């Protein structure tokens, strides 16, 4: 999904950074780092279970942050400030990029939930 975001940035020839996309990217990076931490706990699940459970909670929190940013981004895209120029193609491009960023964060939460399930099965 992260690769899909970068492909769209290239294919759509995005020239300017979008502040909310940058924020979503930071949240996604944190979510990936959280998953990495959880996966490292799997090798010795008896010692790593707390790390995995904590990561699941953090992944959920980050996914909620991503949801809020996504809603904010869509609100700004589809409800521009009065007098602001509106470019329908730019709206379509950014909508798809935001979709993929948010979906990638959802996927991190899904992985965390699977790892959490493994811990609970093991317990």
How many domains does the chain contain in total? 1
The pLDDT of residue 45? 79
pTM: 0.91
Instruction: Mark the ranges of the chain whose per-residue pLDDT is less than 70.
Output: 123
* C-alpha to C-alpha distances, 103 to 20, 25, 46, 81, nearest whole angstrom: 15, 12, 31, 27
Q: Residue 16: what pLDDT? A: 92
Residue 2 lies in a domain: no
pLDDT confidence of residue 14:
95
CATH no. for residue 36?
A: 1.20.58.220
d(CA 18, CA 94): 9
Residue 8 lies in a domain: no
Residue span of the structural domain in which 49 resides: 17-122
């Amino acid at each position: 999904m992260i690769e899909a975001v970068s492909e769209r940035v290239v294919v759509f020839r995005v020239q300017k950074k979008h502040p909310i996309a940058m924020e979503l990217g930071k949240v996604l990076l944190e979510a990936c780092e959280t998953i990495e931490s959880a996966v490292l706990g799997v090798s010795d699940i008896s010692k790593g279970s707390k790390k995995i459970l904590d990561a699941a909670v953090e992944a959920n929190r980050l996914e909620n942050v991503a949801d809020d940013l996504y809603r904010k981004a869509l609100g700004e895209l589809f409800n521009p400030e009065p007098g602001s120029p509106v470019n329908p193609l730019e709206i379509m491009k950014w909508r798809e990029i935001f979709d993929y960023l948010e979906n990638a964060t959802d996927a991190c939460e899904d992985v965390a939930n699977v790892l959490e399930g493994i811990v609970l099965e093991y317990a």
